[in-house]
Amino acid sequence: MRYITVKVTCEEELVEAITIASEAKKDCLCFIEVILHKDDTSKELLEWGSRVSAANSRPPNHD
């Protein structure tokens, strides 16, 4: 199996990686890792992430 992996740290790199994955390497499995600062997001997404984290830390509900 052929694959490529790419790490990106800015929008320009992401655009380039998507272009490569969808054109030149479209027959490969492509992993694009996006490196972001933990607070580089909207307030709403941060709040949602906190709620998801809280829900995931609860013990399982076995009905």
Q: What is the mean pLDDT of residues 33-62?
A: 86
pLDDT classification of 52: cutoffs 50, 70, 90: very high
What would the pLDDT profile of 1-45 be if each residue is shown by its tens digit?
Answer: 699 999 999 999 999 999 999 988 778 899 999 998 877 888 898
Residue 53, helix vs strand vs coil: helix
Phi-psi group of 51: left, alpha or beta (phi > 0 → left; psi -120 to 50 → alpha; rest → beta)? alpha
In this structure, what DSSP letter does residue 41 have? S
Residue-level pLDDT at 63: 66
Whether the predicted model's global pTM rises above the 0.85 cut: no
Mean pLDDT of the 46-61 span = 87
Which sign, positive or negative, has the C-alpha torsion 25, 10, 6, 52?
negative
Q: Is 5 helix (H, G, I), strand (E, B) or coil?
A: strand
- Whether 8 and 17 have beta carbons less than 8 Å apart is answered as yes
Residue whose structure tokens are 């709620």: 51
